[in-house]
A and B are shown apart, each in its own frame.
Chain A
Amino acid sequence: MILVSMAAGFLLILMGLYGALTNRNILRMIVAFTIASTGVNLVLVSVGYLAGRTAPILDAAVPVADAAERIIDPVPQALVLTAIVIGLGITALMLAYAFKLYETKRTLDISKFTELKG
Chain B
Amino acid sequence: MSPILIIAIGLGTAFLLAFLDNRLRATAYAITLVALAVMSWIAADWLFALSSGSTGPVEIFTAGTKPPFAINLRMGLAEAALTLLITVTGLLAAVFLKEPMMRLGRRSMAVLLIATMSFAGIVLTRDVFNLFVFFELAVISTGGLVLLSDDARALSAGFKYLIVSQVISILLLIGIIFLYHAGGSLNIDDLAAASAAGNSTVLLKSGALAFFLLFIALVAELKPFPANGWALDIYESAHPAFSAIFSAAAGAASLYAVDKALLIGGPAWLPVATAIGLSTFVAANVLALSQTSDRRLLGYSSVAQIGLVFAVIGQKDLLGDQYLFIAGGILLAHAVAKAGLYWLSGTLPERALTSWAELKHHPVLLFAFASFVAMLVGLPPFPGFYAKWQLAHALAADGRYLVLGLILLGALIEAGYLFRWFGYALKREAPAQQVDLSLHKIGVVLIAVAAGWGLGYLWGDLSGLGNVLTALPLLFALSFLALDWLPAKVKNAIAIAGLVAWFLVSYPGYDPLRLIFGVIILIGGAVILLASFETHGRRIGFYPSAMLMYAGLAMLIVAEDSFGFFAAWEILTLGSYFLILRGKKSEPHALSYIVFSLGGAFAILAGFAVAAQGTQPFALQGLADVSATFAPYVFILLAAGFMTKTAAIGLHIWLPGAHAEAETDVSPMVSGILLKAGLYGFFILLMTMGKTQFYGVELTYVLLWIGALSALLGNLMAIFQEDAKRLLAYSSIGQMGYALFGLALMNHLGWLMALMFVINHYVYKSMLFLSVGGIAKRTGTKLMYRMGGLITLMPLSFIAVLVGIIAMSGVPPLSGFGGRWIFYNAIMSSDARLPMVIIFLSGPIAFLYLFRLIHTIFLGQLKDEHRRLKEAPFWIVLPQMLFVAFLIGFAIFPGLALRRVDAYLGSFFPSHGLAWEGLTITSEYGYWSPVSIMIVVAVIFVVLLAWLVFLNHRAQKVKQFNIVFAAERPYRPETTHFAWNFFAPYRKALGFLTEPLVTRFWGGITGTLHGTADLTRRFYTGDGQVYAFHFVGFVVIVYLLSMGVRP
Contact = CB atoms under 8 A, between A and B. Distances in A.
Contacts of A93: 140, 143-144, 162
A101 B157 CA distance: 11
A93 B140 CA distance: 7
B162 A90 contact: yes
A29 B1026 CA distance: 13
Contact of A17 (B158, B167, B236, B291): B167
A47 interface: yes
A106 to B, nearest CB: 14
B170 A29 contact: no
B1023 A110 contact: yes
Interface in B136-194: 136-137, 139-140, 143-144, 147, 152-153, 155-160, 162-163, 165-167, 169-170, 173-174, 176-178, 180-181, 186
Given A33-B166, A44-B173, A75-B186, A89 B158 contact: no
Contact of A43 (B162, B169, B174, B1022): B174
Contact of A114 (B129, B173, B1021): B1021
B212 to A, nearest CB: 16
B1020 interface: yes
A3 B139 CA distance: 32
A83 B144 contact: no
Contacts of A117: 229, 233, 1017, 1020-1022
B1024 interface: yes
Contacts of A75: 68, 180, 186
B1018 interface: yes
Contact of A13 (B68, B165, B170): B170
Contact of A104 (B152, B174, B291): B152
Given A86-B136, A114-B1021, A20 B177 contact: no
B233 A116 contact: yes
A97 B159 contact: yes
B1021 A20 contact: no
A97 B166 contact: no
Given A21-B1025, A47-B180, A118 B1020 contact: yes
A79 B152 contact: no
B671 interface: no
B84 to A, nearest CB: 27
Given A93-B143, A113-B1022, 13 more contacts: A21-B1032, A33-B166, A36-B166, A43-B174, A86-B137, A90-B136, A90-B166, A97-B159, A101-B156, A110-B159, A117-B1021, A118-B296, A118-B1022
B133 interface: yes
A110 B1023 CA distance: 7
Contacts of B229: 117
Interface string A80-117: 00110010011001100110110010000011011111
A72 interface: no
Given A43-B174, A47-B178, A116-B233, A26 B162 contact: no
A44 B177 contact: yes
B92 interface: no
A79 B165 contact: no
B307 to A, nearest CB: 19
A90 B165 contact: yes
5 contacts: A79-B173, A79-B176, A86-B140, A90-B165, A97-B159
Contacts of A76: 177, 180
A92 B158 CA distance: 14
Interface string A39-79: 01001100110000000000000000000000000011001
Q: Which of A17, A76, A118 has the most CB of B within 10 A?
A: A118
Contacts, number: 126
A49 to B, nearest CB: 11
A18 B609 CA distance: 50
Interface band, chain B: 35 or more
Contacts of A115: 153, 156, 1022
B228 to A, nearest CB: 13
A40 B1032 CA distance: 17
A93 B163 CA distance: 11
Given A26-B159, A90-B140, A79 B129 contact: yes
Contacts of B232: 116
Contacts of A100: 147, 155
A23 to B, nearest CB: 8
Q: Which 8 A-B pairs have the closest CB atoms?
A: A114-B1022, A117-B1022, A113-B156, A116-B233, A118-B1017, A86-B136, A33-B166, A97-B159
Given A114-B1023, A115-B153, A20 B163 contact: yes
Nearest to B229: A117
B450 to A, nearest CB: 33
A69 B174 CA distance: 26
A21 B153 contact: no
Q: Which of A29, A40, A115 has the most CB of B within 10 A?
A: A115
B908 interface: no
Nearest to B159: A97
B1029 to A, nearest CB: 6
Interface residues of A, number: 39
A47 B152 CA distance: 44
B133 A101 contact: no
A116 B173 CA distance: 30
B237 interface: yes
A37 B173 CA distance: 9
A110 B177 contact: no
A21 B177 contact: no
Given A21-B1025, A47-B181, A118-B1017, A97 B155 contact: yes
Interface string B621-640: 00000000000000000000
A104 B163 contact: no
Contact of B1018 (A20, A36, A101, A118): A118
B1028 interface: yes
A2 to B, nearest CB: 11
A47 B155 CA distance: 38
Nearest to B158: A97
Contacts of A47: 177-178, 180-181
B173 A110 contact: no
A101 B177 contact: no
Contacts of A44: 173, 177
Contacts of A13: 170, 174
A79 to B, nearest CB: 6
Nearest to A41: B173
Contacts of B178: 47
B1028 A86 contact: no
A104 B155 contact: yes
A11 to B, nearest CB: 13
A89 B165 CA distance: 13
Contacts of A33: 163, 166
B173 A111 contact: no
B161 to A, nearest CB: 10
B544 to A, nearest CB: 37
Contacts of A114: 156, 1021-1023
A113 B229 CA distance: 13
Contacts of A36: 166, 170
A44 B1017 CA distance: 39
A87 to B, nearest CB: 8
A110 to B, nearest CB: 5
Contacts of B137: 86
A94 B162 contact: yes
A40 B166 contact: no
Nearest to B69: A75
Contacts of B153: 115-116
Contacts of B129: 79, 82
A43 B170 CA distance: 11
A17 B167 CA distance: 8
A47 B175 CA distance: 12
Contacts of A110: 159, 1023-1025
B784 to A, nearest CB: 46
Interface string B230-272: 0011001100000000000000000000000000000000000
A60 B662 CA distance: 90
A116 B156 contact: yes
